[in-house]
Chain A
Amino acid sequence: KNEVEQSPQNLTAQEGEFITINCSYSVGISALHWLQQHPGGGIVSLFMLSSGKKKHGRLIATINIQEKHSSLHITASHPRDSAVYICAVPPGGSNYKLTFGKGTLLTVNP
């Protein structure tokens, strides 16, 4: 089973700050997912990446396969970025059942 650790658990920032959320996992994977969940409950898939870096607007995700570590960065943070950010990985091998991290609660204050 793949163990997923996210840090920090809670993060409060001022509008405009650069945000970093980290995810570490224990077993080699084919790809890692970053998800965003707003208080209403719905989940939005932000990134699925297997190497290097991906960028979408103000969001950047990086992954280091050798170190089993990924980071999600938010540049010029905004109050609407307030949400829970979840990292999810498959357990390895050909099993694609995702293991989810506990999430990072981000609050961006105006």
Chain B
Amino acid sequence: EAGVAQSPRYKIIEKRQSVAFWCNPISGHATLYWYQQILGQGPKLLIQFQNNGVVDDSQLPKDRFSAERLKGVDSTLKIQPAKLEDSAVYLCASSLNPGYEQYFGPGTRLTVT
């Protein structure tokens, strides 16, 4: 069974630039999560999708972050414009449904200079 795919694995941008991350969850998983993990901290949930609908985006900085999952499969997370404090690993995870085991992708390490 293929795992959760993410790209790119690494990205370096300057502040005020834009960046987009892509995630392909495990086939058949209805629930998709985007997490932000700052160095030395645990992951923080940014947004949770159930199929193509948003379940929870309470911790998403909506003035600069956006995410979509238009067809209920792949998802993209965008930051525009980026700030220095956005430097982190962005993790995508999926699960069959809420409450089931979550499977994580390899993450995208973002460095904002």
A and B: interacting chains:
yes
> A57 contacts which chain B residues (CB < 8 A)?
none
B72: Cβ under 8 A from any A Cβ? no
Pairs A–B under 8 Å by Cβ, sample size 14: A30-B99, A31-B99, A41-B37, A41-B107, A41-B109, A43-B104, A43-B107, A45-B101, A45-B102, A88-B42, A96-B99, A100-B42, A101-B42, A103-B42
CB-based closest 8 A-B pairs: A100-B42, A42-B106, A43-B104, A41-B107, A96-B98, A48-B101, A41-B89, A96-B99
User: In the assembly, what is the distance between CA of A86 and CA of B105, in Å?
Assistant: 16
Q: Interface code A88-104, partner B: CB below 8 Å = 1, 0 otherwise? A: 10100000111011110
**Which residues of A pack against B, CB within 8 Å?**
30-31, 33, 35, 40-45, 48, 86, 88, 90, 96-98, 100-103
Q: Which of B37, B42, B98, B106 has the most CB of A within 10 A?
A: B42
> A90 contacts which chain B residues (CB < 8 A)?
99
User: In the assembly, what is the distance between CA of A36 and CA of B72, in Å?
Assistant: 28
> B101 contacts which chain A residues (CB < 8 A)?
33, 45, 48
User: In the assembly, what is the distance between CA of A103 and CA of B102, in Å?
Assistant: 17
User: In the assembly, what is the distance between CA of A96 and CA of B105, in Å?
Assistant: 19
- Indicate if the CB atoms of A97 and B48 lie closer than 8 Å: yes
B91: Cβ under 8 A from any A Cβ? yes
B22: Cβ under 8 A from any A Cβ? no
> B99 contacts which chain A residues (CB < 8 A)?
30-31, 90, 96
Size of the chain B interface, CB-CB below 8 angstroms: 21
Q: Which of A35, A43, A45 has the most CB of B within 10 A?
A: A43
User: In the assembly, what is the distance between CA of A77 and CA of B77, in Å?
Assistant: 38
Q: How far is the CB of A3 from chain B (nearest CB, A)?
A: 12
> A97 contacts which chain B residues (CB < 8 A)?
45, 48, 56
The residue from A31, A43, A44 contacting B43, defined by CB atoms under 8 A apart = A43
